[in-house]
Amino acid sequence: MEPVNLTQISKFFLLGFSEKPELQPLTFWVFLSMYLITVLGNLLIILAISSDSHLHTPMYFFLSNLSLVDIWLTSTTIPKMLVNIQTQNKVITYAGCITQSYFFILFAGLDIFLLTVMAYDRFVAICHPLHYTVIMNPWLCRLLVLICWIMSVLHSFLQCLMALGLSFCMDVEIPHFFCELNQLIKLACSDTILNNMAMYFAAVLLVGGPFAGILYSYSKIVSCIHGMSSAQGKYKAFSTCASHLSVVFLFYGTILGVYLSSAATHSSHSVATASVMYTVVTPMLNPFIYSLRNKDIKQALKTFFVKETTNWLVVLRLKMCPCLQSQTL
């Protein structure tokens, strides 16, 4: 099959999960529900943290950034998939595909880096509690988030810039629900050795490196907890890490599951199904993991809703009873 000039490629076809028409409505409503839960849950976390001054600490600052990134990550892929299902049109433009790949790599990388920074924050809080406020000062927290953004932007830009140099054959069907870079490279007719090398090098350096950093932080945390004499102190120290540790296991476990399933089955559709775990399910579960085990978050949400409900009732009362409004004036 002759490769087509890159300028002639104008669109790709996202095959999604199933081509059976009877399953499309079910897929649409399931993913719409998951997307709405993800956005609503993460927005509530952000609102709770921003509205409560007691939560203006490094740990919750990083958590609010993680929630925001999770909203963007799911918004990069799910809305386009829902539109394609609803319109029965699997087409995505070449520019749209590259753009989707860019933002997906960007926000997935940010997720990884923020989880690493959060592990470092827990390490300082437990192993150096007396110096915590000095070390994790607001300036350092903002700098760490900025570094996460810079590294993610540069990585995503480099990967997509290399993908722009590829030429494609006439078969432009992507067996996935979004334009994953790996699937895009497999469709290329030109030499992809540099793209594959860059992709695997980035996976080792930018996924394996942060994971090693997380493991190192928790090895120090476990050592510090083991050295504590008080059982209550041990429980309190561990409880501050439980939510973050759960998210780390969920995120990295699902990524590992995707690549293991890919190597075992060699089926692109099974990879697409497994990818749902870290692209949709993990961002959806993060707010539940952090809120259900966190009394501060639950109290902040309760206070926020009580305050907003009270304000709404006061405004409603004033609108219904103009006499009350004149008395208050």
DSSP 279-297: IIIHHHHHHHHHHHT-HHH
pLDDT score for 6? 44
Judge whether residue 255 has pLDDT over 60: yes
pLDDT score for 124? 94
Give CA–CA dist 268/278, Å, rounded.
16
176 or 82: which carries more pLDDT confidence? 82
How does residue 3 score in pLDDT terms, banded at 50, 70 and 90? Answer: very low
What H or E segment, with its residue span, contains residue 217? helix 209-226
How does residue 4 score in pLDDT terms, banded at 50, 70 and 90? Answer: very low
How does residue 160 score in pLDDT terms, banded at 50, 70 and 90? Answer: very high
- The number of residues making up the chain comes to 329
pLDDT score for 259? 66
Judge whether residue 292 has pLDDT over 80: no
pLDDT in tens, 87-117: 888 888 888 999 999 999 999 999 999 999 9
Over the range 51-90, which residues count as b (16 or more CB within 10 Å of their CB) and which as e?
A: ebeebebbbbbbbbbbbbbbbbbbbbbbebbbebbeeeeb
List 13's β-bridge partners, or say none.
Answer: 91, 173
Q: Which tokens belong to 259?
A: 């690549």
Enter the DSSP assignment of 175: S
Q: Which tokens belong to 268?
A: 């692109």
pLDDT score for 26? 87
Give CA–CA dist 248/242, Å, rounded.
10
List 188's β-bridge partners, or say none.
Answer: 168
Domain 6-293 has CATH 3.90.480.20: no
List 91's β-bridge partners, or say none.
Answer: 13
Average the pLDDT over 173-184 and give the result: 86
How does residue 265 score in pLDDT terms, banded at 50, 70 and 90? Answer: low
Report field, pTM of the whole predicted structure over 0.85: yes
pLDDT score for 1? 43
Do 262 and 278 touch, CB atoms closer than 8 A?
no
Q: What are the extents of the domains in the chain?
A: 6-293, 296-329
